[in-house]
Amino acid sequence: PPQPDEAPPPPLASVPVPWKNVGSCKGHRESPGSLVEASAGEEAQGEEEPAAAPLDVSRLRSSSMEIREKGSEFLKEELHKAQKELKLKDEECERLCRVREQLEQELEELTASLFEEAHKMVREANMKQAASEKQLKEARGKVDTTLFAEFQAWRASPTLDKACPFLERVYREDVGPCLDFTMQELSALVRAAVEDNTLTIEPVASQPLPTGKAAEVDCGSANTCALSGLARICRHRIRLGDSESHYYISPSSRARITAVCNFFTYIRYIQQGLVRQDAEPMFWEIMRLRKEMSLAKLGFFPLEA
């Protein structure tokens, strides 16, 4: 029986007990102990979640910073490469500009040089033309018109035929008398060799040179001219064609033969087109050669002959 001094125990409070679905087909009711543990775990988890959130934000921030730094470094590298390429292109452009300026300067100098050279050539040509015209005017008052006309006719069609008027006159007035020596037979042979360009004049050696060829035949003496027959010291001798015979000639005879050979050499050059001159200079050169033949015929010749 209860004692009068003891109080009755307090009534038990009703605690709602949740039901937890364990499976799709059956469920069981958690015991109060497990419910209390679960409730305590949820309260502990609820207390830990606010502490984990700042960690995730800091990680995101650090990742974002890393990505931003890497992107910044990549952009800096690309910018550096672009600046380097741009600098190389600028240097190449400067080099090409210098090359272009140099080429333009050289082209200007070359153009100026060519213009000056062309102007100089034109001026010289004009001066030569004026001098030629002046000489022509002077020559027309001095030159025998008949001789000049014969020369121009021969120059239009150069030939070595003695029948043409020009050469026929030269043969008659200069070549024939110049090669007309006392020894007529040898004179004719010399004239034929000169016309055929087969005559050879060589100095007389002080002593005979040994040779393995056939002995040469000396016709005459070194103290007698084979053409004139006069007693003269002969320092030269002539050979006709391929003959081994040599004829001693005096200085006077050599000068006459040389004058005629010089004339034939010049007209052969004209015939072959090797003389690039106008008619007047050619004519005056032929007149000079004819003068040399006339002087040699009269006995005027250089001492070294």
Contacts of 193 (CB under 8 A, 6+ apart): 199, 240, 241
- DSSP secondary-structure letter at 143? S
pLDDT of residue 28: 47
Q: Where are the domains of the chain?
A: 62-142, 145-205+216-297
Phi, psi for residue 14 in degrees, rounded to 5? -80, 125
Closest CA to 160 of 271, 21, 259: 271
pLDDT of residue 132: 79
pLDDT of residue 130: 85
- Tell me, rounded to whole angstroms, the distance of Cα 236 from its chain centroid: 51
Strands 199-203 and 236-240 turn out to be antiparallel
Q: Which residues pair with 19 in a beta bridge?
A: 29
Assign 213 to helix, strand or coil.
coil
- Tell me, rounded to whole angstroms, the distance of Cα 299 from its chain centroid: 56
- Rounded CA separation 195/300 (Å): 23
Residue indicated by tokens 């110049």: 178
Q: Which residues pair with 218 in a beta bridge?
A: 246
pLDDT of residue 204: 87
Could you tell me how many helices (H) and strands (E) the chain has, helices first? Answer: 7, 6
Residue pLDDT tens, the chain, 305 long:
444 444 555 554 444 544 444 444 444 444 545 544 445 455 545 555 555 556 677 777 788 888 888 888 889 999 999 999 999 999 999 999 999 999 999 999 999 989 888 989 999 999 888 887 777 676 666 667 889 899 999 999 999 999 999 999 999 999 999 999 999 999 999 999 999 999 999 998 755 544 444 445 666 678 899 999 999 999 999 999 888 889 999 999 999 999 999 999 999 999 999 998 888 899 999 999 999 999 999 988 876 54
